[in-house]
Amino acid sequence: MKKLKRVTSMDVAKEAGVSRATVSYILNDVQGVSIKETTKKKVIQAAKKLGYYPDSMAVALKTNKAMSIGIVSKRNISEQRYIKFLDGVKSAIGDNYSIILCSDHVDNFGYPEYYSYYKRKKIDGILFLSFQEHLAEEKIDDYLHMSVEENIPIVFADYHLNNQMVNCVDINYYHGAYMAASYLIKNGQKEIIYLTPDFDTEQEQQRRKGVEDAVNEHKGIKLIKTPISTDNDKEIEAVIKILSKKDEYSAIITSWSKMAYTVLYQAQQLNISIPDEISVIALAGSNFDVYTYPRLTTCNLPLFELGQKSAERLMNMLTDANTLPLNITLPCKLKERDSTKGI
């Protein structure tokens, strides 16, 4: 196999009869140097003719910029939501930056992958996407430390940090939950059962507060909070038990759509009519919501926007070191479908 030599800026320079510096100026469109149009044309021609591609590693070494950002998420990568986030990120970073997927798996160096990548300059900054289901508090402190003390450009996506020292883009779970509960109440539901996961995260606290506030604003609404195990079998068992006492309530709120799917499924099994007997609403949506029977009413999370805004923040930090940290909160949107009914 013939190993052909790489075309360098030197080659282009020779071909065009100029120096390497000129080539660099022209191809990078450097401000502050004015170059004759004819020279410009010549160089561009030569580059095209020779098939010149600047070596990004050499550029990176020189400029001290990898032109890549790392995305790290402890969340189950299988989650569809992760992908929507990615889409948003992609839309915001433009053609010049690339996305490197990193884990927080500890590597040979004894450091999490994202950290090593940064220290080794493979990435210029980091986007943390929270692991919704098991947000470990100790880790957060590490992250914060990195961001503040080590001055690593980091944006926290879907973290409710309330820390003015760091950039974070959050989803307004409180308001989403508030909207969902209010919607139910407006539709005449008086006894509401609220299925929450059996662990406590900032996110779930926000939701709980949202639901409670909505309930407290009205007289005579009864709210029953029921923690549900994340274990599949236990979840099913719990849902069946709850459905067997359907006379005690008229509506169900679930923190996640997955729980709502289970409710819908088991309701069918038990011949309980949704929404006639029970209204069901989930505080997070997914693509499948239109395929359940009946179609699931949800509070949609702005995942694309989450990715987009987070990436925008990161880009700002990267291009302007003096960017002030910002805490941004994104609203949810209620999507009414067939699992809830009006009065």
Partner DNA sequence: CTGTTAGCGCTTTCAT
Partner DNA sequence: ATGAAAGCGCTAACAG
Residues near DNA (CB under 7 A): 6, 8-10, 13, 17-25, 27-28, 30, 33-36, 39, 52-55, 58-59, 61-63
Instruction: Please give the size of the binding site for a second copy, defined by CB under 8 A.
Output: 55
Q: CB of 5: closest distance to DNA in angstroms?
A: 7
| Amino acid identity for residue 46 in this structure | A
The smaller minimum CB distance to a second copy, of residues 137 and 151, is found at: 151
The smaller minimum CB distance to a second copy, of residues 100 and 243, is found at: 100
- Which among 182, 214, 175, 134 has a CA at the least distance from the CA of 281? 182
Q: CB of 46: closest distance to a second copy in angstroms?
A: 15
103 contact, one of a second copy, DNA, none, CB 5-8 Å limit per kind: a second copy
Specify the length of the chain in residues: 343
Report the b/e string of 14-37 with b at 16+ CB within 10 A. ebbebeeebbbbbbeeeeeeeeee
Q: CB of 149: closest distance to DNA in angstroms?
A: 21
Q: Is 102 one of the binding residues for a second copy (CB under 8 A)?
A: yes
User: Contact region for a second copy (CB under 8 A) — 9-17, 93-101, 180-188, 241-249?
Assistant: 93-101
| Residue in the block written with tokens 């989450």 | 306
Cis peptide before 275 (omega within 30 of 0): yes
User: Contact region for a second copy (CB under 8 A) — 32-40, 110-118, 200-208, 223-231?
Assistant: 110-118
Q: Is 297 one of the binding residues for a second copy (CB under 8 A)?
A: no
- Which among 314, 296, 342 has a CA at the least distance from the CA of 68? 314
Which contacts of 157-162 are long-range, i.e. CB under 8 A and separated by 24 or more positions? 157/85, 157/127, 157/128, 157/129, 157/130, 157/306, 157/307, 157/310, 158/129, 158/130, 158/132, 158/203, 158/306, 159/128, 159/130, 159/135, 159/202, 160/202, 160/203, 160/206, 161/327, 162/327
Out of 37, 95, 137, 276, the only residue in the binding site for a second copy (CB under 8 A) is: 95
- Which residues make up the interface to a second copy (CB under 8 A)? 1, 51, 53-58, 60-61, 66, 68, 77-80, 82-84, 86-87, 90, 95, 98-103, 105, 107-109, 113, 116-117, 119-122, 151, 258, 261-262, 264-265, 268-269, 287-288, 291-293, 295, 321
